[in-house]
Amino acid sequence: MKHDHFVVQNPSAAAKQLLLLFHGVGDNPVAMGEIGSWFAPEFPDALVVSIGSPAPSGPHPGREWFSVAGVTEENRQGRIDAVMPTFIELVRYWQKQSGVTANATALIGFSQGAMMALEGIKAEPDLASRVVAFSGRYAELPQQIPASTTIHLIHGDEDNVINVKHAFDAAEALERIGGDFTLDVIDDLGHAIDDRSIQIALDHLRYTVPKHYFDEALSGGTPKDDDIIELL
């Protein structure tokens, strides 16, 4: 499958985890790969790939998943739905290439890339076990969420591109439908990823135990064989 991408880390042995990164509007996979370089040393057994979105970003350099020209609350979901099959196909492609299942796949996105990751889980519930959404939002708040997916919302309180209110709205919606999530609001941060954001994301991937493990333990069940490898 031909697509723009940048491999940040390819382990010498078979990959045990898959970390896929998705950039924002007007950016590119190489630049987003710099964020991936923070994750790679912490997960030496992970295949870490930064994915380029499919469309050029208008007259400006860089690329985008969907056009933001004339985008509104009413038409945003439709634009995402139109490109979602491509997004899902790319995730499945790298899962197949790496031999890593959704249970050990993390989708890490910034801005529009975070939006695609959040919406990807809505469209395909078994797409990944973790989502790290930097400065993202839902197009439309979820009505249901898979118990096997943990979502980490990380947002600057001074974001003037995607207001932090969207992160609070997402958290409220996820709480209401019983979702497994964390919300971290970074003081004095605009529409960006800084060292604090990255450290929080790393800590969640390494130390936050998925809620469904506790649910399985309380019910007397045990994880399935293919559910043992988690991003912990």
In this predicted structure, what is the pLDDT of residue 35? 96
Tell me the whole-structure pTM to 2 decimals.
0.92
Q: What is the mean pLDDT of the chain?
A: 91
In this predicted structure, what is the pLDDT of residue 48? 97
Q: For residues 15, 19, 25 and 27, what is the CA-based torsion angle, rounded to 10 degrees?
A: -50
pLDDT tier, 47 (very low <50, low <70, confident <90, very high otherwise): very high
23 counts as catalytic: no
pLDDT tens digits for 171-208?
Answer: 999 999 999 999 999 999 999 999 999 999 999 999 88
In this predicted structure, what is the pLDDT of residue 221? 56
- What is the mean predicted confidence (pLDDT) over 82-96? 97
In this predicted structure, what is the pLDDT of residue 147? 86
H/E run at residue 109? strand 105-110
> 163 or 3: which carries more pLDDT confidence?
163
- What is the mean predicted confidence (pLDDT) over 67-81? 95
In this predicted structure, what is the pLDDT of residue 214? 56
Distances (CA, A) of 6 to 14, 49, 161: 19, 6, 26
* Bridge partner list, 107: 20, 131
- What is the mean predicted confidence (pLDDT) over 9-17? 95
Q: What percent of the chain has pLDDT over 70?
A: 90
**Encoding tokens for residue 96?**
């197949």
DSSP single-letter state for residue 91:
H
Cβ contacts of residue 205 below 8 Å, gap of 6+?
Answer: 39, 42, 43, 106, 130, 132, 152, 231, 232
pLDDT tier, 143 (very low <50, low <70, confident <90, very high otherwise): very high
The active-site residue out of 50, 111, 129, 197 is 111
**Encoding tokens for residue 93?**
């492609």
pLDDT tier, 60 (very low <50, low <70, confident <90, very high otherwise): low
The active-site residue out of 184, 191, 203, 215 is 191
Distances (CA, A) of 151 to 137, 139, 163, 170, 183: 12, 16, 18, 10, 9
In this predicted structure, what is the pLDDT of residue 42? 93
Strands 5-9 and 46-51: antiparallel
User: What is the distance between the alpha carbons of residues 232 and 147, in angstroms, rounded to a whole number?
Assistant: 17
In this predicted structure, what is the pLDDT of residue 146? 87
50 counts as catalytic: no
The active-site residue out of 159, 166, 197, 227 is 159
159 counts as catalytic: yes
User: What is the distance between the alpha carbons of residues 131 and 133, in angstroms, rounded to a whole number?
Assistant: 6
